Structure 1
Amino acid sequence: MYVRRHRRTLLVGAAVAAVLAGTTGAAVAESAPSPAATPTGDGAQALCKRAPKIDRRIQRALDRLNAGADKRGSIARLQQRVDNAKSAGHSEIATYLQDRLTFRKSLVTTLRQRQQDLADVRTWCKDNDGGAS
């Protein structure tokens, strides 16, 4: 009895696997992406259109990073966590958090540079009819 039930389970499992394998193979073959065409422009018009949204996003991130210790995601809050870990004697935690803090501080520099670059883009867009010319 046990052998018969075990054999039936194996047959059902093999049938299900065969069906799934056939379906999966066909789905993969059908969903393979075709090669994308090479770009014909530099995307200036789209960038000019999105510049205000990008500027707001950058400003929001800078505001969050420069906020006080009561704001999640701020440098001050992460600095407080580093200090707390050091005072509690959790050196591994403090090291991990310090590395995150170092990156977060470098992010401010990067975002400020992007903000300056975006200001140049906005000037260019204004002078060039929103990138249409």
Structure 2
Amino acid sequence: MDGLVRLLELVYSAGSVSVTDVMRLGFDREVQEERGWLSFLHGWCVHVADRVAYLDAIIQELEFCRRHMFVGQLVVELRSGDAVVLANSIMYFKAICDFGVEKLANMQLFLQASAAHLDRRMQFLARFNAM
């Protein structure tokens, strides 16, 4: 039933009962949906890249404070054993950052695959429009 409703909506939107016009509109919508997905995925890649850069900056600051404990004492009150807390925090943030880097790499691969898929759909639509 859902397919019939979608087909009727396409016929109405195309303003024609010609199969060619309806199919052209359907293929065009598919390309538009893929472009939207690609844009969304690209935005997520940018978000993850920004988060990785932010985590990397935190790690650098924590490592600096661990190497130069007097700098850390200017900001917060350090007690004995806080060097262990700093080391654990660095390991924690590095694990999160490494996961973010891996996620970004996977997302970029998916983005490339999605872009290739969009190109194939656009080529098909161009061939269909040329008929």
TM-score by length of 2: 0.48
> Where is the helix percentage greater, Structure 1 or Structure 2?
2
For the pair shown, the structure with the greater C-alpha radius of gyration is: 1
TM-score by length of 1: 0.47
